C-alpha cells in the first residue's frame, strides 16, 4: 500500500480521495494542518505528500521531506507558485492537476454576475423575512451588453460561450490570442473603455499584477461590473474600494482576494477581521464575495482525485507524465518533456 500524507484536508476532499485511494492502492493520512517546516514531520513513514494552494513547500520543507524519505509531492491544484520546484529537482518528484473542470469556474463566474445584477442575494434574504418590496432590486438586461473577457484559455472560452448564449457582445484580450476561436480580440485599453462588465480568466504573472488599478479603472465605463474568479493579485483591492466608493465601479464579484490565504477556506465567524480593506470591501452592498469556491463541483473534485492518484501511480510505473513539474518548466525551451523523458 502506498502511503501519502494529505495536508490541509477539507471535508469536501474526503469522499473522492477515499474512493480513488481505495481503488488504486493508496492510503491517505488526512491532516488538517497545512504543510510547513514544523508539520513536515507528520509525513514520517509516508512515501509521498499531497498538498493544496496554501501549503508552503519551500526549500527547507523540501529538504526535510527528502530527509524523511518522501519521494513525491502531488499538488491537488493547477497553480504551483507555493512550491520551490528548483529545490525539489533531483530529489522529489512533483506533479499537479493542470485542469479539473473549466465549466465549474466559468459557471461560477456567470452565477456571480447573474446574482449581483438581479440582486438575487438580497431578494433571498428579503423574502425569508416576509419583505416583498422590490425597491433597490433593479438590474439590467444582459442581452446586448458588452462583456470584456481577459484570458481566453480553457475557462475563458467557456465563459465567452455562455455570454454569447445570453445575446451579449463579447470582446476579449489575451496575451496570446487564439486565431482558431470565434472571438473579437481587442487591446486592453479598448476592452477597459468599451465593456459593461469585465471578467478575468488569465493567470497572475509579474506582468499583470494589479492590472485592475486606479489608472485602468479610470478608463472604464461608469458603473462597470468587475468579476474576478482568477487570482486576487490581478486587482489592487485598495483602488477597487476607492472606485466603488466613487461610484465608478457599479459592482464587484470576487471569488479570489490577494490576501486570501489567512482568511478563505476557514470559518472565521465570531472573529474580528484585521484586514481593513477587505472588511470595507465586504461591507459594500454592491460587492459579492465567495471564498475561492469557483472550482467546487462534484465533477471537479472527482477529476482532481482521479488525476492526483493517477499521477502517483505514474510515479511508481516510471512513466513520462505531462503533469510532472520541474525547474525546466520555467524554461519551456529546455523542457525535457519535449524530449519525452522524465524530469529526472
Ligand atoms: P488557461 O491556461 O487555459 O488559460 C489562460 C489564458 O490566459 C491563456 O489563453 C493565456 O494565453 C492567457 N494569458 C496568459 N497571460 C496573460 C496576460 N498577461 N493577459 C491576458 N491573458 C493572458 O487557464 P484556465 O484553466 O482557463 O484558468 C484561468 C485562471 O483561472 C487560472 O490561471 C487561475 O488563476 C484561475 N482559476 C481559478 C479557480 C477558482 O476556483 N477560482 C480554479 C481554477 C483556475
3-state secondary structure the chain: CEEEEECCCCHHHHHHHHHHHHHCCEEEEECCCCCCCCHHHHHCCCCEEEECCCCCECHHHHHHHHHCCCCEEEECCCCCCCECHHHHCCCCEEECCCCCCHHHHHHHHHHHHHHHHCCHHHHHHHHHCCCCCCCCCCCCCCCCCEEEEECCCHHHHHHHHHHHHCCCEEEEECCCCCCCCCCEECCHHHHHHHCCEEEECCCCCCCCCCCECHHHHHHCCCCEEEEECCCHHHECHHHHHHHHHCCCEEEEEECCCCCHHHCCCCCCCCCCCCCHHHHHHHCCCCEEECCCCCCCCHHHHHHHHHHHHHHHHHHHCCCCCCCEECHHHHCHHHCHHHHCCCCC
Answer yes or no: is the C-beta of 229 below 6 A from any ligand 1 atom.
Answer: yes
Q: Among the options 93, 108, 201, 292, which is catalytic?
A: 292
Confidence at residue 332, expressed as pLDDT on a 0 to 100 scale: 52
* Ligand 1 binding pocket includes 176 (Cβ within 6 Å): yes
- Residue of 10, 110, 152, 155 best suited for mutating to test ligand 1, as the one with most atoms within 8 Å of CB: 155
pLDDT at residue 13 greater than cutoff 70:
yes
Given a cut of 70, whether residue 205 has pLDDT beyond it is yes
Contact between residue 260 and residue 278 where contact means Cβ atoms under 8 Å apart? no
According to the model, what pLDDT value does residue 336 have?
62
Identify which of 256, 242, 239 has the alpha carbon closest to the alpha carbon of residue 199.
256
The residue whose CA has the least distance to atom 44 of ligand 1 is 230
- Whether pLDDT at 156 is above 90: yes
Ligand 1 centroid to Cα of residue 152, in Å, is 8
> Is the CB of 36 within 6 Å of ligand 1?
no
Provide CB contacts within 8 A for 38, sequence distance 6+.
Answer: none
Q: How far apart are CA 200 and CA 226, in angstroms?
A: 8
325 pLDDT higher than 90:
no
CA atoms within 13 Å, Cβ hemisphere of 341: 7
Task: Give residue 333's pLDDT.
Answer: 57
Ligand 1 centroid to residue 231 C-alpha, Å: 9
Q: How confident is the model over 25-50, as a mean pLDDT?
A: 97
CA 336, 339, 341, 344 dihedral sign is: negative
Name the closest-CA residue to atom 23, ligand 1.
153
CA distance 115 to 104: 16
Task: Determine the residue of 153, 290, 303 to mutate for testing ligand 1's pocket, defined as the one with the most ligand atoms within 8 A of the Cβ atom.
Answer: 153
Q: Whose CA is nearest to atom 42 of ligand 1?
A: 295
Give the pLDDT confidence score for residue 104 in this predicted structure.
97
| Model confidence pLDDT, tens digit, residues 68-101 | 999 999 999 988 878 998 899 999 999 999 999 9
Residue 211 banded pLDDT, cuts 50, 70, 90: very high
Q: Which three cell numbers stand for residue 220?
A: 472604464
User: Does ligand 1 have an atom closer than 6 angstroms to the CB of 108?
Assistant: no
How many whole angstroms from 255 Cα to the centroid of ligand 1?
A: 14
230 lines ligand 1 (CB under 6 A): yes
Place of cell 442581452: 143
pTM of the predicted model over 0.85: yes
Residue 157 CA, closest ligand 1 atom number? 26
**For the chain, which domains are there?**
2-100+297-339 (3.40.50.720), 102-289 (3.40.50.720)
Cα 174 to ligand 1 centre (Å): 10
- Whether 128 is catalytic: no
Convert the pLDDT of each residue in 301-316 to its tens digit. 999 999 999 999 999 9
Nearest CA, atom 30, ligand 1: 230
* 239 ligand 1 Cβ < 6 A: no
Which of 67, 74, 78 lies closest to 93 in space, CA to CA?
Answer: 74
Catalytic residue, chosen from 231, 243, 258, 324, is 231
Q: Are 97 and 118 spatial neighbours (Cβ–Cβ below 8 Å)?
A: no
**Average pLDDT over every residue of 115-133:** 98
Strand order in the sheet with 48-51: 26-30, 2-6, 48-51, 72-75, 93-95, 324-325
Question: How far is ligand 1, taken at its centre, from the CA of residue 115, in Å?
Answer: 23
Average pLDDT over residues 39-44: 98
Amino acid at each position: 500500500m502506498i502511503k501519502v500524507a494529505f495536508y490541509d484536508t477539507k471535508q469536501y476532499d474526503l469522499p473522492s480521495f477515499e474512493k480513488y485511494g481505495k481503488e488504486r492502492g493508496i492510503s491517505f493520512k488526512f491532516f488538517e494542518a497545512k504543510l510547513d517546516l514544523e508539520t513536515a514531520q507528520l509525513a514520517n513513514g509516508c512515501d509521498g505528500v499531497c498538498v493544496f494552494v496554501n501549503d508552503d513547500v519551500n526549500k527547507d520543507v523540501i529538504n526535510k521531506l527528502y530527509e524523511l524519505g518522501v519521494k513525491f509531492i502531488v499538488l491537488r491544484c493547477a497553480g504551483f507558485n507555493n512550491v520551490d520546484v528548483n529545490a525539489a529537482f533531483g530529489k522529489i518528484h512533483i506533479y499537479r492537476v493542470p485542469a479539473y473542470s473549466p465549466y465549474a469556474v466559468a459557471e461560477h463566474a456567470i452565477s456571480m454576475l447573474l446574482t449581483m445584477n438581479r440582486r438575487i442575494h438580497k431578494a433571498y434574504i428579503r423574502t425569508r423575512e416576509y419583505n416583498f418590496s422590490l425597491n433597490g432590486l433593479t438590474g439590467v438586461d444582459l442581452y446586448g451588453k458588452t462583456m470584456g473577457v481577459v484570458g481566453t484559455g480553457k475557462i475563458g472560452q467557456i465563459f465567452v460561450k455562455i455570454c454569447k448564449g445570453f445575446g451579449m457582445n463579447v470582446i476579449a484580450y489575451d496575451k496570446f490570442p487564439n486565431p482558431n476561436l470565434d472571438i473579437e480580440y481587442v487591446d486592453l485599453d479598448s476592452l477597459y473603455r468599451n465593456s459593461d462588465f469585465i471578467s478575468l480568466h488569465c493567470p497572475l504573472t509579474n506582468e499583470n499584477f494589479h492590472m485592475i488599478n486606479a489608472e485602468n479603472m479610470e478608463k472604464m465605463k461608469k458603473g462597470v461590473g468587475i468579476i474576478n474568479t482568477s487570482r486576487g493579485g490581478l486587482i489592487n483591492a485598495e483602488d477597487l474600494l476607492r472606485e466603488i466608493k466613487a461610484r465608478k465601479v457599479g459592482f464587484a464579484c470576487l471569488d479570489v482576494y490577494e490576501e486570501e490565504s489567512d482568511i478563505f477556506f476557514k470559518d472565521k465567524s465570531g472573529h474580528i477581521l484585521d484586514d481593513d480593506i477587505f472588511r470595507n470591501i465586504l461591507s459594500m452592498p454592491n460587492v459579492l464575495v465567495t471564498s475561492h469556491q469557483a472550482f467546487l463541483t462534484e465533477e471537479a473534485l472527482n477529476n482532481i482525485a482521479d488525476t492526483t492518484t493517477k499521477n502517483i501511480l505514474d510515479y511508481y510505473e516510471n512513466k513520462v507524465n505531462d503533469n510532472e513539474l520541474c525547474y525546466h518548466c520555467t524554461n519551456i525551451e529546455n523542457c525535457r518533456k519535449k524530449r519525452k523523458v522524465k524530469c529526472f
